[in-house]
Structure 1
Amino acid sequence: MKKTKFSSFLKNYNSILLLLGGIIVGSILGLVFGDGVEVIKPLGDIFLNLLFTAIIPLVFFTIASSIANLQKNENLGKLFGIVMGVFLTTVIISAIIMIMAVLLFPIHQGFVQSKIALETIQQSSTGSQITQLLTVNDFYEILSRKNMLALILFSFLIGFSTLRSGEKGKNFKKFLDSGNEVMKQLLHLIMKTAPIGLGAYFAYQVGIFGPQLFGAYAKPLGLYYAVCTFYFIVFFSLYAFFAGGNQGLKIFWKNNITPALTAVGTCSSIATIPANLEAAEQMEIPSHISNLVIPLGAPLHKDGSSMSSIVKIAVIFAMFGKDLTDPYTILTAIGITIIVSVVEGGIPNGGYIGEILAITVYGFPMEQALPAAMIIGTLVDPIATLLNANGDLVCAMMVTRISEGKKWISQSII
């Protein structure tokens, strides 16, 4: 009997145990060998590159096929409104939680100015930035993960066009459904290499960035990691409970381990899309919801980035001896976090848009403030991505609860 239970446990959690094993071994290697772990970094890069290569067709097929398979009685406009409402609510809650933390445990001056290479900042008008965010001027450019919002918009339009085509578009709809299934199978194969890939990535993160955690940035980083851990455990549990009561709590914490580890290991919301979709399928979230919420959430929904924006602002204010407690300053910070959540890219350490926006809005000198903000952004990336990416999964549960009713879990089991 005990053997049967043990074998059943191994069968159910085999992939998670292998993933944990890879991460633990990688972390130990990073601690022991330090900079020497750069030798195995290519293993992590290969895994991540395979994921990124598959992400573009995955997002296209999941969104387009989901829209194309909608029935006429399914109100997409209403569903989209619920999704945006849930995204915005969690981003604002996360920002308020972090604001309360930095006010209770203020960050003081004492930051060492580090000289690091800054990204080229291209100045352009607001209209031009919006155009570049939502569209591309040639088809091949939509195949880049740096243009995720443009890809999502295009996928929506393809799905709508297929839906409107009716009987004439039937064969194309089959193509979208078939492509969706093929991409799922491809990603299942790629995820089998995750223990090695993520293990190598963890080794690199611990070996290269670990020592910096004990420098001048220890307090803001410690505060950020503590508050994010609290938010992850407590508030994600509250969100899951809202979505499905005690049963919602159970299915969330049972199925979010692989997405959580993938997010921490890759530091990319986009790379976590496959694990999130697989977890949503195991949780029996309706596909027309998960295929909308999760790909859309990767570039648009970022609780972790919202919280990191607040910490970066607090660090910059501390550097220049400015007061962070002014109500206008706090409201502006919340506004910045909302904008950052929408426009910041899903690639690792990508864009630094939030840092540049905050520095510009508050009028701090870019050459002094940006390096500190960039260092904070790099060092908080793992847990920020955890909240960004794993938040999409719990948001999919809440959207299902609002749109399908409170009995959606029991109905899916039946």
Structure 2
Amino acid sequence: MKKKPFFAHLYVQVLIGIAIGAAIGLIWPQIGSQPWMKAIGDAFVNLLKMMIAVLIFCTVTTGIGHMSAAKQVGRVGLKAIVYFEVVSSLALAIGLIVGNLVHPGAGLNLHGDAAAVAKYTAAGAHETISDFLLKLIPTTFLSGLAEGNILQVLVVAILTGFALMRLGDRAAGIRKLVDEGSRVIFDIVNMIMRAAPIGAGAAMAFTLGKYGPSVLGNLLALIATFYATAAIFVLVVLGVIAALAGFSILRLIVFIKDELLIILGTSSSESALASLMEKMERLGCSRQVVGLVIPTGYSFNLDGTNIY
């Protein structure tokens, strides 16, 4: 098999795109800060986000639908929930400890929009557990998909998956349809991913062109502290978990380097969901587990957010 040229790898192309975008933003900020530059980056991210809801529906539905019994779903789901809770709590604790020790945001005179903040805090203060649970239920079967509400999509997908599992061979046609539908979605995502270097480069150019190195320099301590803390969390906490599971966290990072660079360039983890799922299957993870755990992790296992 002929080896691919170095520049043909997606991660190399993304790195080049980010570097070119950074150069444009720093050297020609009048170009980098143009609205059309932001539009290019946003268009790439939006194209991927467009596929997220239907992708999650298909993968979660098939993941549960192909399991042999509800007990199997329960075991996988329970393990995932326990993992999400424990690891998210560790991430939150580490973030609090580092923040209180280093105070990386001290001295930054950030004046937010008080009215906008008040709107969100007021809404959150009046929301009860029952309100939250009711929001998980869509008004129609397809409204969660239409609105891109991931939690509602998960609820519908889980119910559909259980129905397919209960019906068994009688639902073989529907199961095959959803399977083939997910393949189509993955192929569309792969086509969109070819534009990743352009999307990531445009996003980087706009960020540096609009805000400039001087403004971003004032945030350097905060940014550096966050990334250093995230690196410690990945290498220590996730490294220990990986070792207990029998694999190397560093080898995994190298394996998913394309997705990590795309997330770095676009500031959107959703842009890498589809390709991450494909790579986990290539590593040997069962499609059922991948289809159930990774999409739910995007909603319930936000370690980076907890650290921040």
1:95 to partner: Cα distance: 1.9
Equivalence for 1:399? none
Equivalence for 1:44? 41
Give the Cα separation in 1 of the matches to 2:246 and 2:103: 37
1:23-59 deviation per Cα after TM superposition (whole angstroms, max 9, x unaligned):
2211221222225313322221221121111112111
Give the Cα separation in 2 of the matches to 1:61 and 1:189: 19
Alignment counterpart, residue 201 of structure 1, candidates 200, 203, 206? 203
Alignment counterpart, residue 135 of structure 1, candidates 115, 129, 137? 137
- Contact 2:6–2:12 (Cα < 8 Å) also in 1: no
- Contact 2:104–2:221 (Cα < 8 Å) also in 1: yes
What TM-score do you get using the length of structure 1 for normalisation? 0.66
Give the Cα separation in 1 of the matches to 2:73 and 2:307: 30
What TM-score do you get using the length of structure 2 for normalisation? 0.86
1:102 equivalent to 2:99? Answer yes
2:28 aligns to what SS in structure 1? helix
1:66 to partner: Cα distance: 1.1
Equivalence for 2:247? 245
What does 1:9-408 correspond to in 2, within 5 Å? 10=5, 14-37=9-32, 38=34, 39-72=36-69, 75-106=72-103, 110-116=107-113, 118=116, 120-121=119-120, 123=123, 124-127=126-129, 129-144=131-146, 146-209=148-211, 210-215=213-218, 217-246=219-248, 249-250=250-251, 252-308=252-308
Give the Cα separation in 2 of the matches to 1:12 and 1:72: 46
Structure 2: give runs of 5+ residues left out of the alignment: none
* 1:36–1:235 CA distance, 2 compared to 1 (3 A): farther
1:73 to partner: Cα distance: 8.4
- Contact 2:104–2:225 (Cα < 8 Å) also in 1: no
1:257 to partner: Cα distance: 0.5
Relative contact order, CA 8 A, sep 6+: which one is greater? Answer: 2
- Contact 2:141–2:156 (Cα < 8 Å) also in 1: no
Give the Cα separation in 1 of the matches to 2:22 and 2:234: 22
- Contact 1:263–1:271 (Cα < 8 Å) also in 2: yes
CA RMSD of aligned residues (A): 2.6
- Contact 2:199–2:266 (Cα < 8 Å) also in 1: no
1:8 equivalent to 2:3? Answer yes
Structure 1: give runs of 5+ residues left out of the alignment: 309-414
1:307-332 deviation per Cα after TM superposition (whole angstroms, max 9, x unaligned):
11xxxxxxxxxxxxxxxxxxxxxxxx
1:68 to partner: Cα distance: 0.9
* 1:108–1:206 CA distance, 2 compared to 1 (3 A): closer
**Comparing 110-119 with 161-170, which one deviates more in the overlay?**
110-119
1:186 to partner: Cα distance: 1.3
* 1:221–1:133 CA distance, 2 compared to 1 (3 A): farther
Give the Cα separation in 2 of the matches to 1:202 and 1:103: 30
**Percentage of pairs with the same residue:** 24
1:88-123 deviation per Cα after TM superposition (whole angstroms, max 9, x unaligned):
221122222223323432458544242537264363
Give the Cα separation in 2 of the matches to 1:109 and 1:213: 15
1:159 to partner: Cα distance: 0.8
Give the Cα separation in 2 of the matches to 1:146 and 1:225: 29
- Contact 1:58–1:180 (Cα < 8 Å) also in 2: yes
